[in-house]
Structure 1
Amino acid sequence: MKYKMIVLDLDDTLLRDDGTLSSRNKQALMAAQEAGVKVVLASGRPTYAMKALAEELDLERFGSYILSFNGAKIINWRSQEEAFSSTLTPQMAHALYEMSIEEGVSALTYVGDDIVTASVNEYTLIESQITGMKVVEVSSFVEAVQVPVVKVLMVAEPDKLVLVEEKLKAKLAGQLNVMRSKPFFLEFTEDGVNKGTSLNHLIQQLGIERSEVIAMGDGYNDVAMLEFAGLGVAMGNAPEEIIQLADYVTDTNMNDGVAKVVEEFLLKDLVQTT
């Protein structure tokens, strides 16, 4: 089999607009895992928010992986061991919070299984809805965040966040990785950490070549892994900039675009060689 791993963004890629997994996508991924293909769920979501899907796809039985927090953590779902982990110091989280105040946007991070913020708004509530995590509004962000965190998000209406992203990317170049996961989410992780660099750590541990990896996504935080993989696949619902840089474009997340790639590049290949 040419491809040994398939790496999948979740929202607007593997999942439908209502956040559910279609039966065709599930069936295709289960068949791929049965054939020995490693499935990696790769999302900006916290690990906690990916557990249910990991269970639905039976990642534990197959020894497949979760790549969470935009690559800041990779976990072998069978052993629960971390294949890769990256954090920000509490001091860096505090500094980002101060920058958010200066820029007039809200900031949040994750402590335990909670979303911690000093300012609840529609965007922090969207993150709660996506992740299934409780929002804890604190009077002092600095006092509430006293341990290393995996990432910090700044959230605001998209037009405002475009300007903040441009300014802070320049200001924090060489210090932090700054990327947009959704139009209203601006994410900050350790410098050099993204879905592509983390994927590189994982395949080196597993002895898999880049050419043996398929990566699928729709967003700007997927660019690094699409460019890294042997076959970078954009969803039909992706922005035009993402579509232009992909090696291949599949159908939309609402029309089983993931399953169609698995069937074409993994399962058909398996049938032809048996």
Structure 2
Amino acid sequence: KQLTPRSRAAVADLAARGTVVALASGRMYRHCMAPQVEALGLATPCICYNGAVILDPTNGQILSERPIAPELVTPVIDFAAARGLTLNLYRDDVLYIQRPTRWSELYVARTGAQPVFREDLYDWFRGSASTKMLLLDEPAEIEVLLREWQARVDGQLYVTISDPEYLEFMDPSATKGWALRRLCEHLGIDPAESAAFGDARNDLPLLEAAGYAVAMANARPELQAVADEIAPSNDEDGVAQVLERWLD
């Protein structure tokens, strides 16, 4: 997911007029969000890892971090090892994967991430906290795994789907919605004065927390149900169309 030139221009215009603009993503900062932040010239802290990290791009300072506790990381590692699934583990803004697979290649191609491969990863990482975890598989299987893991963890982890092939695990408090409220507090902004755009399942807490919620036309029904406005789809530069209207 990349900002189009039209969207970049609209966001830059909005920021130039004094509006506080922040990016929120499920992705890591290094390699993935950093190029977008730099291209836009943004100095506002950004929400990374689905809300597990809020980072100041001007100095790299982490303003908030909610990693997954080690005792909750181990069962997911054991599950991935037993099923032979590709598992992304994150620590200190570094992505670790056990070995290259077609799923790791897909993830790298989509995000620009530069993983560190370690054959001994699971033994090496066991007992450590992880910023988030991400399992990759076919979309139909990811839907099955979502229901299985939501029942298994019973609220001890926040489990969601971002892209159809990604099952993401975070600390229960690490949502984009929680991070938006925390960022607003840091900036001295009333969350009721905020606006947010979203299209994926992991964007639902963000839209619920924002004062004005915009769901894309390609968004899932549950996002459109909580939205104040439905924008044209991502393929139609929907974010840019809404921002351009606001800027008129």
TM-score, normalised relative to structure 1: 0.82
| Counterpart residue type for residue 191 of structure 1 | P
Q: Which runs of 5+ in 1 are unaligned?
A: 1-10, 16-20, 269-274
Structure 1 match to 2:23:
41
Structure 1 match to 2:230:
249
Write out aligned runs for 1:1-274 (5 A).
Answer: 11=1, 15=2, 21-48=3-30, 49-59=32-42, 63-102=43-82, 105-111=85-91, 114-145=94-125, 147-265=128-246, 267-268=247-248
Q: Which runs of 5+ in 2 are unaligned?
A: none
Contact 2:98–2:122 at 8 Å: present in 1 too? no
| Counterpart residue type for residue 55 of structure 1 | E
Contact 2:68–2:132 at 8 Å: present in 1 too? yes
CA RMSD in angstroms comes to 2.0
Once the two structures are TM-superposed, the CA of residue 166 in structure 1 deviates from its matched residue by: 0.5
Identity level (%): 29
In 2, the alpha carbon distance for the partners of 1:137 and 1:79 equals 28
Tell me which stretches of 4 or more aligned residues in structure 1 moved more than 6 Å: none
Aligned pair count?
246
Larger relative CO (CA 8 A, sep 6+): 1 or 2?
A: 1
Larger strand share, 1 or 2:
1
Task: Evaluate the alpha carbon distance shift between residue 98 and residue 232 of structure 1 in structure 2; reply closer, same or farther with a 3 A threshold.
Answer: same
2:58 is paired with a residue whose SS is coil
| Counterpart residue type for residue 88 of structure 1 | I
Contact 1:215–1:232 at 8 Å: present in 2 too? yes
| Counterpart residue type for residue 25 of structure 1 | S
1:169-207 deviation per Cα after TM superposition (whole angstroms, max 9, x unaligned): 111123111111111101111112110011111111212
Contact 1:39–1:65 at 8 Å: present in 2 too? no
Greater mean alpha carbon deviation, residues 167-176 or residues 76-85: 76-85
Once the two structures are TM-superposed, the CA of residue 88 in structure 1 deviates from its matched residue by: 2.0
